Amino acid sequence: MKSQEAVRQRIDELRELIRYHNYRYYALDDPEITDAEYDELFRELQALEKAYPEFASPDSPTARVGFPPLEAFETFEHPVPMLSLENAMDEGEMVEFHQRVQKLLGVTEPIVYTAEPKMDGLAVEILYENGRLVRAGTRGDGYRGEDVTPNVKTIRAIPWSLYAHPEAPPIPSVLTVRCEVYMNRQDFHALNRQREADGEPVFANPRNAAAGSLRQLDSSITARRPLKAYCYGVGVLEGPAFQTQWDILNAMKRWGLPVNPLSRLCDGLAAALDYYRDLEARRADLPYEVDGVVYKVNRLDWQERLGEKTRSPRWAIAYKFPAHQAQTRLRDIQVQVGRTGVLTPVAHLEPVPLAGVVIRRATLHNMDEIARKDIRIGDHVVVQRAGDVIPEVVRPLVEKRDGTERPFTMPAQCPACGGPVVRLTGEAVHRCMNRNCPAQIEGALRHFAGREAMNIEGLGKQIIHLLVERGMVTTPADLYRLTEADLLKLPGFAEKSAQNLIQAIHKTRRPELASFLYALGIPLVGTYLATVLADRFGSFEALRAARYEDLIAVEGVGDKVAESIRRYFENEDNEKLIRDLFEAGVRPKEATAGKTPQAADEFWKGKTVVLTGTLSSMTREEATERLRQAGARVSSSVSAKTDVLVVGEKPGSKLQKARALGVAVMDEEAFLKHLP
C-alpha cells in the first residue's frame, strides 16, 4: 500500500502533468501524447482524489466538472469597453478601410495587419490577477456583462493559472483577456443528437449552443458541453509593454492561453486580401464556423493614434464572408403580429439545410419587399442566412415557374384578433389597430421581460401565452400582481416553480434606468439610445418632464425620436401603465451620468449624403432623419462636396453624376448595415 506522502506526491505529479499537456494541446497546438494517454492520466487522478479526499484541491484539473449552481448571474462593468467591429461586406469596403487608415495616420508605407478567422461564437472577457483567473464574464452590451466565472472555468482550453514561459514576457499583475467561446460542428451535431434522443429541444446552430451552454446557472451542465475558446486580444494590461498586436498574441500563447493557429501577419493590403481568399476557400473544411476575417493594425502606437469611434475601433475591421445560400420552395406566406401591431409576412419553406442548420422559415419584411422581389406562393426561391444568422429570401427562380404560383395579399383583418389592418401614410408596414390584440399584448410582455429589458428569468414565450390566454395578465404591471396561487392554476407549474417565478419577477422591481426605458417599448428608442437618455437625464422623472427642446439637444436624438418620446409620455394609456408599475413597487434606479459614449455613429458624422431612388425598407423622410441623427448632412443634389450617394430602386440622373465625380455609391443593403 502506498504511503500518504507517496499518494500526495503522485496526485501533485498528475496535476502538473495534466496542466502541462493542456498547455501543449490548447496553447501550442502541439500535443506530446495521444488522447487515450491523456484520458488515462486524467482517470488516474480522478480515482486517487476520490480515494483520498483529504488531498482534494479547488485548483485541480478535475474540478472543471462544475461548481454549486447559482440563483442568478451577477452583472459587472468592463474596465475597458468591449466595442463592436465595423464590417466590410466586399473588397471595395476593405480597400476603403485601408485607405482611411493610411489617411488618418498620414502614411504611405505599407500597413501591417494581424489577420484572424472571425469565430462565430460568444465573446467573453477573462480577468487574471497575478496570473490567476479571478473572473470571467460575457460581453453583454459592451459596457456591462454577466459574471459566468464558474462556467468558463469548466472549459479545458482556458487555464486557471497562466504559465510562466521562460521566453515569454513577465505575467502581468492585472490582465483582461478577450476570447471567443465556440463549439465545433461535429460536437454540435453530437450534442443535438443526444438532446433529440432525450426529448429536449435542439439548438439552431453552434453559436446558439455555445451561448446557451455558457449561460447555465448550473455549471455542471456547462462542464458536460464540448466548449472551446480562442483568445484574440487584451483590455487591461498592467505589466510588460508591447509594441505590436502580434507580440500580444505570441505572449498570450506562451502564457498558456489558446490562440488560433490560423492567425497571420499580413504585410500590406494585398497580403490581407490574399489571406481572406485563402480562408474563404478553406471555410467549409474548418471544424468550426467562421463568418469572415478580423484585421487589426499591428502597431499598437498606431492603434492609439487611430482611436475609437462611438461603437468600434478605427484600427480594426471584420471583412465578412458572403452569406451561405440554398434553393428551396416557398410553400406559404403567413403573417406574424408584433408588439407594436406591425404585420410581418413570413415565408414558410420546404426544409433545406444551410450552413449547418435546417431552414424552415424566413422573413419577407413587408409588402413592398415582396412586390419588389416579385415573390409568390409556390415559387422556387434562393434563401440565405444574412450574416449567417437570419434567414431571408433573396429572389424567386422565375425560370422554374409553372403557372401554379399565386401572389400574396396582406389580410384586411388581423389574424390574431380580427381587428382592422391599415397601412398609414408614409409607412412601409401594415398594422393592426386594436390595442387589445392578444398578439400585441404577448409581444409587449415578451419585450418587457426580455434580457436587455427587465430580464425576468424564467418568464418565457409559453408562460406569457398562457397568462394572456387565461386573462391573468394584460399589461406588464399585471405581472407584479401575480401570486403563487395564480401560477399554480397553470399547467406545468408546481409549488417550487411558481415560487421561483414570483421571486424572479419581484427581483426586477429596481431596474437600471436604461433597462426600464427600453422595457417600456418607446417607439424608436432601442437599447443604445435608452442608455444615452438615461445618462443624459439621470432619472425617469427628469426624462418624463423633458421638453421637446431638451430632447432634441441630446446628440443622437433627432426630430422623430424627440417627437416619439413626447408622444409616448403624453399618451393616456402609457401614463396609466407607468402609474400602475409604480404602484406595484417598480422604481428604476437613477443613472450615473458620464459613462456612455456619444450616440452619433462616426461613420456618418460630418459627411454630406444624397439619396436617390426608392428605398424598400423606409421612406425618404425616414432615411433622411436617420442620417441626421447619425450626424450626416443630407443634401438634395450631387456635387463635388458629396461624400456618399445612397441608391435605391430606379435611381435618377444623380447616379451618373456621382460616378462622373468619383463620389462613393452605396446600395440600400450597405446603407442599412452602416446605420447606427
pTM for the whole thing?
Answer: 0.57
The CA-atom distances, in angstroms, between 347 and each of 60, 387, 494, 530 are: 52, 18, 38, 32
Percent of the chain with pLDDT over 70: 93
In this prediction, residues 124-149 reach a mean pLDDT of: 90
- Whether the predicted pLDDT of 350 surpasses 80: yes
Identity at 221, one-letter amino acid code = I
Domains and CATH numbers, the chain: 4-65 (1.10.287.610), 87-320 (3.30.470.30), 325-422 (2.40.50.140), 438-583 (1.10.150.20), 608-674 (3.40.50.10190)
Torsion of CA 434, 437, 441, 447, to 10 degrees: -70
Cβ partners under 8 Å of residue 391, min gap 6 = 354, 359, 361, 362, 363, 383, 384, 385
- Whether the predicted pLDDT of 356 surpasses 80: no
- Whether the predicted pLDDT of 116 surpasses 60: yes
Q: How confident is the model at residue 66 (pLDDT cuts 50, 70, 90)?
A: low
* Residues known to be catalytic: 118
Length of the chain: 676
- Whether the predicted pLDDT of 654 surpasses 80: no
In this prediction, residues 432-447 reach a mean pLDDT of: 93
Q: Strand, helix or coil at 342?
A: strand
Identity at 37, one-letter amino acid code = E
Positions at the binding site for Zn(2+): 414, 417, 437
Positions at the binding site: 35-39, 84-85, 116, 139, 180, 296, 320, 414, 417, 437
- Whether the predicted pLDDT of 122 surpasses 80: yes
Positions at the binding site for NAD(+): 35-39, 84-85, 116, 139, 180, 296, 320
- In the structure grid, which three cell numbers stand for residue 628, read together? 441626421
Residue whose C-alpha is closest to residue 632's, from 667, 670, 676: 676
- Whether the predicted pLDDT of 60 surpasses 60: yes
Contact indicator for 518, 452 with CB cutoff of 8 Å: yes
For residue range 592-631, what is the model confidence (pLDDT) as tens digits? 544 443 343 466 777 888 888 878 777 777 788 788 777 7
For residue range 259-314, what is the model confidence (pLDDT) as tens digits? 999 999 999 999 999 999 999 999 988 999 898 999 999 999 999 999 887 678 99
pLDDT at 20: 80
pLDDT at 50: 84
pLDDT at 388: 47
- Return d(Cα 539, Cα 554) in angstroms, integer: 15
What DSSP assignment string belongs to 501-512?
Answer: HHHHHHGGGS--
For residue range 143-189, what is the model confidence (pLDDT) as tens digits? 888 899 999 999 999 999 998 888 889 999 999 999 999 999 999 98
Look over the chain and give the mean of its residue pLDDT values, rounded to a whole number: 87
For residue range 574-596, what is the model confidence (pLDDT) as tens digits? 999 999 999 999 999 987 544 44
Question: Phi-psi bin for 268: left (phi > 0), alpha (psi -120 to 50), beta?
Answer: left
Q: How confident is the model at residue 67 (pLDDT cuts 50, 70, 90)?
A: low
Of the ranges 18-22, 114-118, 562-566, which one carries the lowest mean pLDDT score? 18-22
pLDDT at 58: 74
Q: Strand, helix or coil at 396?
A: strand
pLDDT at 379: 96
